[in-house]
Amino acid sequence: MRIPKSLKKGDTIGLISASGATPKEALPKAVEAVEKLGFKVVIGETCRERYGYLAGKDVLRAKEVNDMFHDPAIDGIFCIRGGYGATKILPLLDYEMISENPKVFTGYSDVTALHIAFNQKCDFVTYHTPMPSTEFIKPEMDEYSWSSFIKSVTNTEQKNYFLENPSKQQMTTFVDGEATGQLVGGNLSLVVASLGTPYEIDTKDKILFLEDIDEYERSIDRMLTQLKLAGKLNDAVGIILGAWTNCGPQNPNHPEESLLLQTIFEEILAPLNIPILMDVACGHCLPTMSLPLGRIITINGELKTIEVVE
């Protein structure tokens, strides 16, 4: 797995949306936030385009991804937001060209579809990070989240370092043990959406990271069950569970009609008998950790640690 060249101050960032449309009022703030990091910004057409809930039609969004990778003046590519739509453009991307031009590529949530495709089809590391028109412009965007993001994109070849939670948020050992493998995954809904397609996630001998937002507990149950039946959970050597933001019962006034996420994890994940860390500060949350998808990591349940070891 190749590691893209680290970004440095003065580099040019291509700002795109491969998914949902960006609110007009958020764009100038997002550009300003990226510029404050010391980067120059090229604003993609998709950042201003709207086609219903999408940032332009599929052909436009795919062309912009291709163009940003092909353009030698662009040093890194930041997805400005998630939403929906990245999966729709997967058949339209030039993976051979993209593979020949690896660059720092960031985003999360719906961007999970692109992370999986670039990791597997283009063989380079990508970065699960907060995004310019969402977290970057929030007053809650904290020093921990900024530091984790900046370190991940400006020191890409760093070895033997720990991915640590904020000081007051301890990781939890769900199943003890130690495992080493390539870090893959992202948003659970998008991981499941890859199944049965040419872009299906490969979890064989890998460590699977999962998170989600705004899903009923029964939906989490259904999606994890689908991963299990597809053999994806059994293939993994370890699992990291991030934030499950607003993932609760459909009818909170009748908790007896639902199951706790903890119960669902115990019934579906614990029997796998592989190391599992949970309460990792990453996903639709702040503070949030940035993850190098595709790097080799070791998770240690006894020490509650995640170490990049490659």
Which of the residues are catalytic? 109, 211, 284
The DSSP output letter for 295 is: S
- Would you say the C-alpha torsion 291, 294, 296, 300 has a positive or negative sign? positive
Look-up: residue for tokens 């009748």? Answer: 254
Peptide bond connecting 287 to the previous residue in cis, omega within 30 degrees of 0: yes
Which residues is 208 bridged to in the sheet?
184, 239
Look-up: residue for tokens 């640590």? Answer: 164
Length of the chain: 310
Distances (CA, A) of 85 to 12, 62, 88, 105, 226: 25, 10, 5, 17, 22
CA–CA gap between residue 203 and residue 233 (Å, rounded): 7
- What residues have CB less than 8 Å from 73, skipping those under 6 apart? 12, 42
Distances (CA, A) of 74 to 6, 13, 96, 102, 132: 13, 6, 18, 11, 17
Q: Give the pair of three-digit tokens for residue 101.
A: 């031009």
CA–CA gap between residue 110 and residue 115 (Å, rounded): 9
